[in-house]
Structure 1
Amino acid sequence: MTGTAEPVLFRTTGRAAHIVLNRPRALNALDHEMVRRIDAALTEWERDPAVETVVLTGAGERGLCAGGDIRSIHDDARDGDGTASAAFWRDEYHLNARIARYPKPYVAVMDGIVMGGGVGLSAHGSVRIVTERSRIAMPETGIGFVPDVGGTYLLTRAPGELGTHLALTGAQIGAGDALLCGLADHSVPADALRNFVDDLAGLPVGDALARHAQPPPRGELSGRREWTDDCYAADTVEEIVDRLLAHGDPAAKEAAETLLAKSPTALKVTLVAIRRARSLGSLERVLDQEYRVSCAALRTPDLVEGIRAQVIDKDRAPRWSPATLAEVTDADVERFFAPLGEHELGLAGPSAGDRPASGTAGRCGP
């Protein structure tokens, strides 16, 4: 890819319009300009009677999209005033909601790595395709952040407490588990993807799927429900860790060790966000909540530190603050959910529950 390559490509072939994320060296990481361009294309195609299907793919062989451009978020949180990140999230979350309500079939090819913002672009679509190479995750707690792009909405719809497990640990899952958890609809072998996408130029989606869909590879999570459903039903992250350590299953102990390496603040906020998302109902209301949480994360040290450790310096040794779960108070957690007043995302529209009490409203940014 040259420096002048377009970060996202658009084309129409027959009855299908195509979005191709085109930053393969960055694993097609999503930036603000890409979000704007995708939204504009969806507007055009929604009005075009010749376009019957929209297809999302990623350039390169490694994956659809590794997530948002977190280096930019790191720099904005460390050195800026947060307005750039807030504007990005605002448009990104609006795009996530739009994809979920898009009136034409939206086919997302979730081949290879699909994480964070990549999940937001794909898993809200009406036809979600995975392959034996798919590796899907919401890994935000590992960088001091909280699952967003509607991730807390999607994960609450997984069976039992599997969504809580995935949200807290950031674990990667394959095709079988993506189907089990409701993050995907169909499995197509990777070597059949080109023919499947080509067929969409002339066939309805259902007919193309009938030609190429196959049973998915066997997943792992269904065999872990016995301990995930019990351990992650606990009221606090501390108790979840204690239950995992006491269970006896090696996989449960491994999950506990994974949690203890994540940001304590991000873990506690994520658990509350998942639990509240279950009762919020619509995707739009959950995205409104996620926007508040994301904005609050810009004002905490863990987001900058987590991205530094994982992406900038790559020492994989973040120094979280607070450093332990016990040090994160309920008041610390509640600050992430404080209303933003005039800075609210507002996807669900104004409601009594969204209006701030006097003195509680804030802006998005440090």
Structure 2
Amino acid sequence: MTSPFVRAEVDGALGRIHLDRPEALNSLDLGMIRAIAAALDRFEGDDRVRAVALTGEGRALCAGGDIKMIWRVGRTQPEEALGFWAEEYRLNARIARSPKPWVAVMDGICMGGGVGLSVHGSHRVVTERTRFAMPETGIGYFPDVGGTFALSRAPHRLGFWLGLTGASVGAADAIVAGLADAMIPSDAIPALLADLAAGRPADAALAAHAADPGSSRLADHAGVIEAVFAGADISAILSALRADGSEFSAETLALLDAKSPTSLVLTLHLLQEALRSPDLETCLDREYAADAAILQGHDFYEGVRAAVVDKDRNPVWRPATLAEVDAPALVASLRPHPSLFPSTGD
């Protein structure tokens, strides 16, 4: 399987996968997902290849998935939308289980689907240009691509803050949250790739080029985040933020206030469930069930309309307030599907 937007080649001991759709910030369509999977097939079977590196053209590694397609077909052809997610999630799980080092270079924008291609890998690189985010609550959706698994395991509930606020962060914050391993200056990336192509082990190559990522704002506020985002529900989190009264808490309140109330309730539930889940595949299956529910609702279509279709940035959420969200009914709507991973699922 090939795609005009994915370049895959062997460079010495390195399998290179380069996303080349810069006009769309390397956002993933189904053909790209299949081409990446096909490249993995090739590299895993090639004894010359000791590591695989993922890079992106232009100012992004990958800004997300094909939400316009899902918005277009979700109501009338939900099986097409669910099929996209199924193949994407299987690729995310495959990256996590890759027998060869997966070096994801998150240089520039890395959001949504790009996060799914990165955080589950063995070696996650950020640069001074990295803008990392899971912004889905702002489009009536939730952090998927295994995001609930990765975010729930961040220390001090930092992933709860990231997943619920949708805020973008830089290299230092991504490392502190356990979502990246090393900061390498963007101008050193060619040397890193050359080392990997020469057969240098991935651990040693990253260590040779790593730089100090600087201070982390999330680390500075980790105590507040951990206390606040341990709340049992969104109302408790909001109350704790108001009670804290700090500038950081006020900023966090403003971020949450702009998000879909339904998405906030759903995201918190998925993160809490992920904390109790044994593995990535379990979380991906749960996210897939949530996808089916989301397609039957209102806020995803409204959020995508406001953000990327009409671009008026003025979504009208329904329900409009947290008090109107029927949380038990929302959770009950997440009906399990057959596992996407029959060899590892029940």
TM-score band by shorter chain is over 0.9
**Alpha-carbon distance, 1:21 to partner:** 0.7
Pick from 236, 241, 244: which aligns with 1:239? Answer: 236
In structure 2, the residue corresponding to 1:280 is in which secondary structure?
Answer: coil
Pick from 163, 187, 190: which aligns with 2:186? Answer: 190
> Where does residue 160 of structure 1 map in the other structure?
156
Equivalences, count: 344
Pick from 49, 52, 55: which aligns with 1:51? Answer: 49
> Where does residue 337 of structure 1 map in the other structure?
334
- Contact kept? 1:63, 1:114, Cα under 8 Å: yes
> Where does residue 74 of structure 1 map in the other structure?
71
Mapped pair 1:294 → 2:301: no
Please list the CA deviations of residues 182-237 of structure 1 after superposition, one character each: whole Å capped at 9, or x if unmatched. Answer: 11111101111112112211022233223311121221101112221121111111
- Contact kept? 1:288, 1:347, Cα under 8 Å: no
**Alpha-carbon distance, 1:350 to partner:** 4.7
What residue identity is the alignment partner of 1:221? L
Pick from 21, 30, 33: which aligns with 2:31? Answer: 33
What residue identity is the alignment partner of 1:216? P
- Contact kept? 2:74, 2:80, Cα under 8 Å: no
Mapped pair 1:321 → 2:321: no
In structure 2, the residue corresponding to 1:12 is in which secondary structure?
Answer: strand
Mapped pair 1:177 → 2:201: no
Pick from 222, 225, 228: which aligns with 2:222? Answer: 225
What residue identity is the alignment partner of 2:287? E
Mapped pair 1:278 → 2:275: yes
Report the CA distance shift for 1:289/1:16 in structure 2 as closer, same or farther (over 3 A): same
In structure 2, the residue corresponding to 1:172 is in which secondary structure?
Answer: coil
- Contact kept? 1:27, 1:65, Cα under 8 Å: yes
- Contact kept? 1:66, 1:116, Cα under 8 Å: yes
Q: Distance in 2 between matches of 1:161 and 1:208?
A: 30
Q: Which runs of 5+ in 1 are unaligned?
A: 352-366
Q: Distance in 2 between matches of 1:86 and 1:123?
A: 22
Please list the CA deviations of residues 19-49 of structure 1 after superposition, one character each: whole Å capped at 9, or x if unmatched. Answer: 0011101000011111111111101111110
Q: Distance in 1 between matches of 2:314 and 2:236?
A: 25
Mapping for residues 122-133 of structure 1, pairs under 5 Å: 122-133=118-129
In structure 1, the residue corresponding to 2:143 is in which secondary structure?
Answer: coil
What residue identity is the alignment partner of 1:156? S
In structure 2, the residue corresponding to 1:57 is in which secondary structure?
Answer: strand
Identity of aligned residues (%): 48
> Where does residue 364 of structure 1 map in the other structure?
none
> Where does residue 13 of structure 1 map in the other structure?
11
What residue identity is the alignment partner of 2:56? G
